[in-house]
Structure 1
Amino acid sequence: MAKSQQTFSKREKEKKRQKKREEKQKKKEARRAEAKEGDAGIPFAYVDKFGNLTETPPEPTGEEEIDASEIVLGIPQKEESEEELDPVRKGKVAFFDHSKGFGFITDSETQEKYFVHISGLIDEINENDRVTFELEKGQKGMNAVRVSLQD
């Protein structure tokens, strides 16, 4: 005669699984019965004009009419500014290291410092020289390029 393939531990595990299934089914039925008794449905939350959650719906009297054609999707077109009209800026060399080939220029209008590399020079510059330059987007921010001594 052949022996049964099921061992004692397999039978115990199967009994535990069956017991869990039954408990889960009972909980599910209890939740359904509770939902029918409560009959409250899904509670709603409304948002007022200040962004706060409320239980009462907002009144339509204070609403504004918005024309859908005025809504701009995406990035708005760039408007011309004074920087684009006159790209040449004036400034003073705050620091320049000839051995390393870079330095910084302070803009005379905004007092911002811009990085300058020796490859962006037209004339040779030294510290405290008055220069004219243009700005160009670099890897870490705006860089001064086409730097020349001011007349």
Structure 2
Amino acid sequence: MESPRPPMVSEHDEPDTGPFTAERRRAGAGALWPVVAVVSLGGSVGAAARYGASLLWPTASGAFPWTTLLVNVLGCVVIGVFMVVISEVWAAHRLVRPFFGTGVLGGFTTFSTYAVDIRLLVGAGRPALGLAYLGLTLVAALASVWSAVWVTRRVVAWRQT
């Protein structure tokens, strides 16, 4: 038995419910530009901070990339605190999360440099160190964000009593 086919919809027919109504699409396009702008601005701030960290604490060729690891762990700590604060404590303006969470912290933390560091370690004949860095970053980042969320919630609860 064949399943019934959905009715054919022309390109001019528009659904009257859901997130893709014509009115919502028109309103969404204009509402998107402020978000794009603050993410871009925040990303430039975060990337500049990360670059500054790499200048202050450069990593020698073939050495363990401590700076990238510490930047990523610090970024995870900050995102853990930030998400609790803006989700559970403070009613933030709608652009705060895209600016700081996606922009600043997205630009500050760096998966691309992490991947390049692993490739450089393997290319330098240090595959075990590259594998250790890969695993340590994953564990440290997850532990950092989880710990920051846990501690922040405890501090908030303590301050509210």
Q: Which has the higher contact order (CA 8 A, sep 6+)?
A: 2
* TM-score, L = length of structure 1: 0.22
More strand by share: 1
TM-score relative to the length of structure 2: 0.21
